[in-house]
Structure 1
Amino acid sequence: MSLDYTIVIPTTGRDNLALLLTALDEMTGPRPAEIIVVDDRAKEAGLTVPGHVRVLRSGGHGPATARNVGWRAAASEWIAFLDDDVLVGADWAERLAEDLLPLGRDAGASQGRIVVPLPADRRPADDERGTAGLETARWITADMAYRRTALVEVGGFDPRFPRAFREDSDLALRVTKAGYLIVQGKRVTTHPARRAGPFASLKAQAGNADNALMRRKHGVLWRQQTGAGPGRLGKHALTTAAALAALGFAVTGRKSKALAAFGAWTGLTAEFAARRILAGPRTPGEVGRMLATSVLIPPAACFHRLRGEIIHRRPHPPEAILFDRDDTLIVDVPYLNDPKGVRPVPGAREILCGLRESGVRVGVVSNQSGVARGLIDDGQLAAVNARVDELLGPFGTWQVCVHGDEDGCCCRKPAPGLVLRAARDLGVDVSRCVVIGDTGADVDAALAAGARAVLVPTQRTRPGEIVRAHREAAVARDLAHAVRLALR
């Protein structure tokens, strides 16, 4: 059995890309179906690659968007993601095949083992230690192979992560929540520990905004779920508060309190700087950088975390609202096969007309397993949907899944396929869509796709689905209330 895989490499044009592509050309073992390099520079620039490598562009929106562009252009069973600054050995493809071929369908991804060579003649500097942390990190995409069906099911990387930070953990966490396993492979990839700029650690604090998005998406336990460790934001907040208190007391003339607060700030900052200095080479330049950045990092971390909390809690008006059909737009008749049985729910027509007049696009995303069960045929389904369109339309898109539970498709809700296809068909970002439906499957499909969701419970809605929707989405009294919630 041969391995069917595509290699996807996002890049910003770093010099190491040429070395990586050469190594991939010279390796032994199964050849990839394709090598796709995604140029993520905002401005188009020259990129020298071998003729058999396909180059795509992603417009400078970050590695999450770049990887999405790459894997969606591929057609293979597996997508092997590599960063443009890693190096692979001559046997990497052989080891990749050994890692992937034995995996069952329940395995959604395989992580390569990352090795970061550090200087043998001195302690590693701060930025080198940061790179060395990749050796023990979970789910990083420096070398990560995903089954394409798993990527389709969860919608790929979330483009709201603009940096090479947390986007890989977010994807992996969603893949595991979808029921897939992520296994540790035996293949080895080298990630050089290159020196960064003197204020790289300060610039890295922008990642705290991404931590806010992780908390927003996965709850307060996201660090435990991803193995990210406890972090230091609490101490940074305490340090920043002490500095602000010292300044405030000094301005208002309360010297003793100002001195006490200043002492607290000095002690916390000294502890932070000492921990970083003692772990490094302790050269004058490194010590100076650690002292300067240890003063600046706590307020920067707090600023970016607050910025992230504001950004990711700020509501954005939807560009499209996608409706479930049965018990949401029309009165539910099990396996409805006669257009004469179509009865809109009260107020549906007026609500939909109001949305269209306000410029919000509308569509339908509906499971219709009666076709797979043989209870209705394709012609009857088309006739019923045409009657719905006649009474309530026009809809900008109809996305219907005719499969059964056992078919294992990627479109049947709670899988996100219908929502993703509807967003593409309407030409809108899925994050600007809201799904309104009456079951937990509608909510799950929306969240898996990256959309918002509003649940309108009916008699067939399970109590547990309502409880979970209160926590993860929104719950409405009726269709009109649901639309009002969606538009907030």
Structure 2
Amino acid sequence: MTAAQTASFSIVVPTIGRESLHRLLAALEAESGPPPEAVVIVDDRPGDAPALTVHSGLPVTVLRSGGRGPAAARNTGWRATRTRWVCFVDDDVVPQPGWLAALAADLRGADTTGAAGTQAVIEVPSVEGRRATDDEKRTQRLADARWITADMAYRRDVLVAVGGFDERFPRAYREDSDIALRITLQGNEITQGARRSTHPVAPASLLSSVRAQIGNRDNALMRRKFGRRWRPAVGEGRGRLPAHTATTAAAAVATVAALAGRRRAAAGAAATWLGLTLEFTARRFLAGPRTAPEAARMLLTSALIPPVAMYHRLRGEWAFRGARRDPPLAVLLDRDDTIIVDGPYLNDPAGVKPMPGAVDALSRLRDRGLLLAVVTNQSGVAKGLITDEQLAAVNARVDAELGPFDSWQICVHDNDDGCACRKPAPGMVRAAAEALGVDPARCVMIGDTGGDVNAALSARADAVLVPTERTLRHEISDASTRARVAATIEDAVEMILRDTR
């Protein structure tokens, strides 16, 4: 691997439009090290937010991810790159002087050892003259945490292999541990780099620590994916959930016993709750600045945190009770008789008519963040029945009526041409997966023929057959044993969406 090849990297910055983004870009622009081939800014504000304005001398591209969270924003960003390395930087970090040169050195070192990723040194400023508050400590833990994506570089081929970030993590929490754990479980190494970035302390309010308990939903997904030992695997201790469970149970028993008139049982349970709450309060207070306002805040939040933590954990366990470890990331769609009514050798855009339910079904897939590609045989070109221009015009109308699609894969060969792309060959399925930046195994093909099913299965993708009057009986019976069969495209989409939960 040459130095020039090693320097092939892009920077991806997910943002919600904070002013700190401009500070980050200014810091990068002032650097004198090897420049990135691309800087992809992913605006993750809701779709109705005004367009993000960015002024920079860097090769900046601005994309939108629709407010689906940092995992989805990072996926949108890295899939738009084509460099060997992708460096993810949060919009509120400040790269320290010499960052670009240090990044290039980190990437050369990672290539030398064959590492899949390299993590920056994250520094979190502290307030001199006093101990950190409980909220400040929550941010300061980033300095010692493993695999923090505030400044993390991964090889793009590794991101493709693991399917990128799991978008079921909607917050800036656990999505970085999840992807790093999946990468390392495949036998890859993530090295510690020498570049340095400063991460500011997050602003706090009275109930910040209580609101942070929503992260227990993400912990439930981690447990579902990696088992009970996931915390040691990401370098963490046991956590306080057992103590929160005991505290909440004691409060519940005290309440029920009091309502039932069992005073002794209620008093015992209340004493247990009070003891556990005071122990939690003291643990947090003694580690902090030890002021009267901080004591009052610790007492209030220590009483609220256990039941709130348990509520979110139970919500997470219920939401992810049937979660798959590797949900689908992309849906590949046959064109004729799947998303539009088949007109034999259709060469007139006016003949494009969506299949019943197709528009709404595709909207549901997009709303869930799934990538969409059209994979279609169009032998009419080889037969001389459709010109290239007519085909392009028809597909443009399909894109206007049912799109936009993230990729189009079209085979214009005839059945006897011996190409590797025409379904049931897997060529177009593999090409679509490559264009989308996902592993074929994370794709699902929806089509109306056995050729669609066989192309998908040959490429290691999943498949759902939606039969029409022209689908052969043996194709339906074969799909029912080797893949899945749905009555309509809406039913097929519902099957796929169940797999994403």
Letter paired with 1:31: P
Q: TM-score, normalised by structure 1?
A: 0.70
Identical-residue share of aligned pairs (%): 48
Deviations 1:366-423 (A, max 9, x none): xxxxxxxxxxxx965759x75x69xxxxx9x96258xxxxxxxx97xxx962234556
The residue that corresponds to 1:342 in the other structure is none
2:169 matches 1:161: yes
Aligned positions, number? 385
**Counterpart-to-counterpart distance in 1, 2:329 and 2:289:** 53
2:429 to 396, 399, 402: 399
Confirm or deny that 1:38 pairs with 2:42: yes
| Structure 1 pair 170–484 and aligned structure 2 pair: CA distance change class (3 A) | same
Aligned partners of 2:117 and 2:153 also within 8 Å: yes
AA partner of residue 217 (structure 2): A
* Change in 2 beyond 3 A, CA 1:152/1:315: closer
Partner residue, 2:310 = 302
Q: Deviation of residue 181 (structure 1)?
A: 1.2
**Unaligned stretches of 5+ in structure 1?**
323-355, 365-377, 390-394, 402-409, 427-432, 453-477
Alignment correspondent of 1:78: 85
- For residue 189 of structure 1, give the secondary structure of its aligned residue in structure 2: strand
One of 218, 226, 238 as aligned partner of 2:226? 218
Letter in structure 2 aligned against 1:418 = P
Specify which of 83, 99, 104 is matched with residue 106 of structure 2.
99
Shift of 1:315: 7.1
Q: Which amino acid aligns with 2:66?
A: G
Measure, in 1, the Cα distance between the counterparts of 2:283 and 2:99: 37
Contact kept, 8 Å, 2:14 with 2:44, in 1: the verdict is yes
Does 2:274 correspond to 1:252?
A: no
User: CA, structure 1 residues 192+100, in 2 after alignment: closer, same or farther (shift >3 Å)?
Assistant: same
Task: Compute the displacement of 1:106 (Å).
Answer: 3.0
SS in 1 for 2:109: coil
Give me the whole-angstrom Cα distance separating, in 2, the residues matched to 1:245 and 1:481.
51
Alignment of 1:70-149 (within 5 A): 70-104=77-111, 106-149=114-157
1:290 aligns with 2:295: no
CA displacement at 1:283 relative to structure 2 = 2.4
Which of 199, 207, 225 is equivalent to 1:191? 199
2:242 is the counterpart of 1:237: no
CA displacement 1:64-94 (0-9 Å, x = unmatched)? 0011111111121111111111111120011
Structure 2 CA distance for partners of 1:59 and 1:416, relative to 1, 3 Å: closer
Greater mean alpha carbon deviation, residues 157-166 or residues 311-320:
311-320
Alignment partners' CA distance in 1, 2:34 and 2:88: 16
In the TM superposition, 1:355-366 aligns within 5 A as none
- Please state how far the C-alpha of 1:98 moved relative to its aligned partner: 1.1
1:273 corresponds to 2:273: no
Report 1:40-79 matches (<5 A): 40-42=44-46, 43-45=48-50, 47-52=52-57, 53-79=60-86
| Cα displacement string for residues 11-69 of structure 1 (whole angstroms, at most 9, x for unaligned residues) | 11222222111111101211111212111111413534224432211111100001111
2:441 to 406, 416, 419: 419
Residue pair 1:399, 1:422 contacting (<8 A) in 2 also: no
CA distance in 1 between partners of 2:485 and 2:313 (Å): 30
What residue in structure 1 maps to residue 12 of structure 2? 8
**What is the Cα deviation at residue 301 of structure 1?**
0.6
Contact 2:207 2:301 in 1 (8 A): yes
Structure 1 residues 381-460: aligned runs within 5 Å: 382=420, 399-400=429-430, 417-420=439-442, 422=444
CA contact 2:331–2:443 (8 Å) conserved in 1 = no
SS at match of 2:118: strand
Report if the CA contact (8 A) 1:363-1:398 is conserved.
no
The CA distance in 2 between the partners of 1:227 and 1:50, in whole Å, is 40
SS of the residue aligned with 1:9? strand
CA distance in 1, matches of 2:122, 2:264: 52
1:481 CA displacement: 9.0
- Once residues 204 and 309 of structure 1 are traced to their aligned partners in structure 2, the CA distance between those partners, rounded to angstroms, is 17
* Paired residue type of 1:271: E
Please, what TM-score do these two structures have when normalized by structure 2?
A: 0.68
Q: 1:244 to 1:237 in 2, by over 3 A?
A: same
Task: Write out per-residue CA displacement over residues 176-212 of structure 1, whole angstroms, 9 at most, x where no aligned residue.
Answer: 1233211111111111224312211111111101111
C-alpha separation in 1, matches of 2:300 and 2:192? 39
Matched residues in 2 for 1:315 and 1:94: separation? 42
- Please report how far the alpha carbon of residue 285 of structure 1 lies from its aligned counterpart in structure 2 after TM superposition: 2.4
- Preserved CA contact (<8 Å) 1:321 1:436: no
Deviations 1:316-353 (A, max 9, x none): 9999999xxxxxxxxxxxxxxxxxxxxxxxxxxxxxxx
- For residues 148 and 262 of structure 1, what CA distance do their matches in structure 2 show? 55
Which residue in 1 is equivalent to 2:25?
A: 21
8 Å Cα contact 1:363/1:422 also seen in 2: no
Deviations 1:418-471, CA, capped at 9 Å, x for gaps:
234556x98xxxxxx9x9979xx95xx77xxxx99xxxxxxxxxxxxxxxxxxx
SS in 2 for 1:112: strand
Name stretches of at least 5 consecutive residues in structure 2 with no aligned partner: 333-357, 366-372, 376-415, 448-452, 465-478, 487-491
| Cα distance change on mapping 1:197 and 1:320 into 2, 3 Å | closer
The AA in structure 2 aligned to 1:95 is: A
Structure 2 contact 329–443 (Cα < 8 Å) conserved: no
Distance 2:67 2:429 in 1: 31
CA offsets 1:203-222 (integer angstroms, 9 cap, x no match): 11111011111111112221
Query: Mean Cα displacement is larger for which, 206-215 or 50-59?
Result: 50-59
Counterparts of 1:68 and 1:259, CA distance in 2? 53
Separation (CA, whole Å) in 1 of partners of 2:274 and 2:50: 47
Corresponding residue of 1:459: none
Q: Is the 8 A contact 2:224 2:323 kept in 1?
A: no
Letter in 2 for 1:75: R
CA distance in 2, matches of 1:23, 1:57: 23
Aligned twin of 1:180: 188
SS at match of 1:145: strand
